[in-house]
Each structure stands twice: as structure tokens, then as C-alpha cells.
Structure 1
Amino acid sequence: MCSSPSSKNYNYNEGAMDAEVVIEESSSTNGLVSVPAEAKPQKIIKTSYLKFETQDLEKSYSAIISAVKVNNGFVQDDNSNKSYNTITRHLVIRIPTSNFQTAIDAISENVSYFDSKRISAKDVTEEFIDLEARLKAKQTLEKRYLELLNKAKNVKEILEIERELSNIREEIEAKQGRLKYLQDKVSLSTINIEFYKLTSEAPVTTSYGTKMWNAVKGGFNGISVFFLGILYVWPLIVIAGIAIFLLRRWIKKSKK
């Protein structure tokens, strides 16, 4: 807990704060001492991954988009790629959570077989409640420090209180950002869809004449590489030539 920002006593008694906003570490699971909160609706993040083969990419795409529009969703990301014999399209769909299962069923109606179909749900209710409680505590603490700031009597006290306020504000913004992120994931479910089509592209054949010409060019390239290699080692060739010349002279003198 942030202590009083000055050696003076500001009569700032954290124990006098409401039980909900006391943020001293305790034996509770989240480190908060809080009064029992009213039961809140569950916060569930739902996601799905669908993968299937299709014979008509455009027809499948149109069927998916139709199902998305009917369920008030939208396409967040759309990309395509092509490999040797496969054309693939990947969509990231955002759907209101209340229409999540309806959208999955509508998309599935036009698919005879799924290579992969995965649906998951993550309960973030506890994290949501914990963040709200901590946010409320930090906001109350910020208010207390603002009151102390108005009572500060010198520059040192003002600077120390403002430093604490800056730290508290950073924590508040971080918690607000996390809450906003969770709320977005809870209110809009995510569906990843990957569908593909196999193609029958024949490999390019090479004529016999082309193969012969490639072989001739390969021969010339080989000769060029050979002579280039000789140029790289010419000092060794010169040294070897001189050594052979001197050796032969020495042999002739030895015979005489």
C-alpha cells in the first residue's frame, strides 16, 4: 500500500476506508479484503477454429459471409495463399457472443466434412470481478491523494504526492485497458475459418533438345569454373614450378 507521501501526518487512515477498497495483502486469494459482491453474470470468451476442403472457394466464401451478416458479425481479417497444389483462404470472424453457436451451425450446414472443428470457452468472470475491485480501490486511493494534494504545504510534499499519483494513474490505466480487452473478447466471439481447394497442376515438362542445350551450357560453365579456380591458386603453381626446376637441376648435378 502506498504510504503517506510526507513525514507529516495527513490524518490519512487507510483503515477508515470502505472494506472494498483496502488493498493491503491478506490471506484472501486475490490479496483483497472485500465485502461479498452480488452475483454477476458469467463472462465467457468463446472461440472456434474450423478447417475444411471445398471444391468451390468462392461459393464457400459467399456462404460464410452470408451466415456472418445474418448473425450481425463482421470479417476482421481475410487472407489467401497458394502452394504447389493447394489454394487456401483464411478468415477471422467476429460474432456477437449471443449469436456464436447460431453462426457456427449456419456455416456448418454447407460443409460435408471438417478436417478440424474446435470450439472453446474460457471463463474470465473471476478475473473480471477482481480487476473491477482493484480498479475501484485504486480510484478511491487516487481520490484520497488528490485531497492530500490540496492540503500540501510545501513543494516537497507536492512533488511526493504527485509522484504517488502518477504511479496510481498508471495502474488505473493498465487495469482499465485489461478490462476493455476482456469486455471486447466477451461481447464478440472469434471464429477462425480455414478452407482450401486442391488443384491438379501438372509439372512443367522439358524437351530432349532443351536438356541437351542445358548440358552444353553446363559444360561451358564447368570450364569457366575450372579456369577461375586456376587463377585463384596461381601463386602455388608458380612456387611448384620453381621447386620442380630446382629439384631437376639438383638431380642433374648429383649425377655428374
Structure 2
Amino acid sequence: MRYIFCLLFFVTLASCSPETKNEVASDHISAITVSGPLEPKPVGELVIPQKIIKQGYLKFETSDLEETYNQIQNAIKKNKGNIQSDSQQKNYNNISRNIIVRVPGQNFDAFLKAISKGVSYFDEKNISSENVTAQYIDLNSRLNTKRKLEARYLEILKKANKISEILEIEQKISTIREEIEAKEGQLKYLESRVSESTISIDFYKTIAQKESIKVSYGSKIWSAIKSGFYSLSEFLISIISIWPFIILFVVLVYFIRKRFKRKKA
């Protein structure tokens, strides 16, 4: 029986991948006789569709901010998306708005087409697609391997009699369970990025020249007043900080003038 077990063990090591060989060799419990390898061989390969992560960034000028926002809102509803963030900003010469939208991956192209209607040209337009199918397959394969390994250790646990053996096997199961949860989290994150695409939209309106001049000069005058006040404050503070040197200078001038007067007398 011992020779049969040794033969099965070495056959298992020879048939496993390098990573699995290390796991089986380190995790083998010598006190328990198990008929069969710790990790069953995969029955067949799963056919997994392409996993593509799509992202986009658009920046363009518009003549009507509210109308453009309504157009984007309609496109979001039509393509079953949602607004992740919405912010506005006003500068000297324009008013801008940034919206970050998430839409289902299959509606990405339709959404881009909808929000691009009426745009004569884009200041910036960046569209990217990242194929993560290989990464997804690798994670899925490693996850299945860990699950099968966990199942085999649970079977071994049922046959264990000694407390030391039970504790050792439970420790192995706990470690494998942590690895399974970590890989499940990575898969869920990858699937979420594939299932929902992110599009950042910057659109702005140029302020009329007269309004821009008023805002610009008003801001410059106020900035100049504040700058003068801060400069005066800094000057006074610097004088206060060197008061000993000022007193010494005054005393020296006094004695020098007094000495010259004596010479003249």
C-alpha cells in the first residue's frame, strides 16, 4: 500500500503545473493516506468572450452649456448610464463643466455618437480600449485551481484523526480561503471595469469680450490692492524684526555727529 501511495504522489507531482507542484509538495500531510492527487485535472477549457475595458475623454466648446448638458443627460438615460461626478468652473474668459459618466460597455460607442452630435471639432478626443481577456482567463483558472485544492483538503480533513493533523489541515484551508477571496475580488474588479465604461466630458463656453474685460480688470484691481496691503505688512514686520540693529545704527550716528561737533569747536 505504501508503494502504491508513493507512486500516486509522484505521478501527481509530474502532472501538475509548477505552481501546483509547490503547493502539493508543501501541503502534503504525511500522516494521512490519501488515494488520489490533491488537485483534480481540469475537465475542459471554458470559452470566455473578449473582455475589453473602454475609456474616453472629450473636450469641446459649446455655445449653450445648458443645452449641451441636456443632450448629455438624454444620452445617459437612453444608454442606461449614470453620472459619477459633475463639476463647474469659471475663469476670466470661459465657463466650463466636467462630467464623468459610466455606461454599460456595450453602449459605449452609441453614447459617444449621441454626445458628439452638433460638435464641429474637439479640442481633445482620446478613446482607449484595453483587452484584458488573457488576464481574466488566468485569474479564473487560478481561482478554480484554488477551489479544487480547498475541496480536496476538506476531504482530507474528514479522514484526519489526530488533533495536530486537524490543526495543520485547517491552517492550510484558511490560507487557501484567503487566496480564493483575494482572486475573487480581483475578478469582480476586472468585471466591473469591463461591464461599465468611463467617459470624461469637458465642455466650455467662451465669455463675451466686454464681460471678460470687466471681470479681468475688476479682478486685477482687487488683486493689486491685496498685494499692496500684504507688501506693506511684510515691510513693517521686517522692520520690527531688525529693531536692535536700527537702535545700534541710531546710537552710532549720534556719537559720530557729536564727535565731529567737538572737533569743529
Cα distance in 2, alignment partners of residues 142 and 180 from structure 1: 20
Equivalence for 2:63 = 55
Cα distance in 2, alignment partners of residues 222 and 157 from structure 1: 76
Runs of 5+ unmatched residues, structure 1: 21-34
- The reply on whether 1:204 has 2:217 as its aligned counterpart is yes
Equivalence for 2:172 = 164
Equivalence for 1:64 = 72
> Partner amino acid for 2:113?
D
CA gap 1:103/1:8 in 2 versus in 1, 3 angstroms: same
Cα distance in 1, alignment partners of residues 55 and 234 from structure 2: 59
- The reply on whether 1:87 has 2:87 as its aligned counterpart is no
Cα distance in 2, alignment partners of residues 223 and 61 from structure 1: 50
CA gap 1:237/1:7 in 2 versus in 1, 3 angstroms: farther
CA gap 1:243/1:115 in 2 versus in 1, 3 angstroms: same
TM-score normalised by L of structure 1? 0.73
Cα distance in 2, alignment partners of residues 217 and 92 from structure 1: 41
Runs of 5+ unmatched residues, structure 2: 1-21
Cα distance in 2, alignment partners of residues 226 and 131 from structure 1: 65
> Partner amino acid for 2:165?
E
Cα distance in 1, alignment partners of residues 201 and 111 from structure 2: 12
**Identical residues among aligned pairs (%):** 43
- The reply on whether 1:74 has 2:96 as its aligned counterpart is no
> Partner amino acid for 1:99?
N
Equivalence for 2:198 = 190
Equivalence for 2:17 = none
Cα distance in 2, alignment partners of residues 36 and 177 from structure 1: 24
> Partner amino acid for 1:8?
A
SS at 1:233 equivalent: helix
Q: Deviations over 1:177-228 (max 9, x none)?
A: 111111112122221111112224222359xxx9xx99x9899879956863
- The reply on whether 1:131 has 2:139 as its aligned counterpart is yes
CA gap 1:235/1:60 in 2 versus in 1, 3 angstroms: same
Structure 1 residues 175-186: aligned runs within 5 Å: 175-186=183-194
CA gap 1:104/1:237 in 2 versus in 1, 3 angstroms: same
CA gap 1:161/1:113 in 2 versus in 1, 3 angstroms: same
SS at 1:19 equivalent: coil
- The reply on whether 1:18 has 2:40 as its aligned counterpart is yes
> Partner amino acid for 2:58?
L
Structure 1 residue 103, shift from structure 2 partner: 1.1
Structure 1 residue 149, shift from structure 2 partner: 2.5
CA gap 1:145/1:205 in 2 versus in 1, 3 angstroms: closer
Q: Is the 8 A contact 1:5 1:160 kept in 2?
A: no
Q: Is the 8 A contact 1:67 1:106 kept in 2?
A: yes
Q: Mean Cα displacement is larger for which, 158-167 or 62-71?
A: 158-167
Cα distance in 1, alignment partners of residues 51 and 243 from structure 2: 75
CA gap 1:204/1:167 in 2 versus in 1, 3 angstroms: same
Structure 1 residues 40-51: aligned runs within 5 Å: 40-51=48-59
Cα distance in 2, alignment partners of residues 219 and 175 from structure 1: 59
Q: Is the 8 A contact 1:46 1:186 kept in 2?
A: yes
Q: Mean Cα displacement is larger for which, 225-234 or 135-144?
A: 225-234
Cα distance in 2, alignment partners of residues 37 and 89 from structure 1: 48
Structure 1 residue 123, shift from structure 2 partner: 1.0
Cα distance in 1, alignment partners of residues 218 and 129 from structure 2: 51
Structure 1 residue 244, shift from structure 2 partner: 6.7
TM-score normalised by L of structure 2? 0.71
Equivalence for 1:233 = 245
In proportion to residue count, which structure has more helix? 2
Q: Is the 8 A contact 2:55 2:199 kept in 1?
A: yes
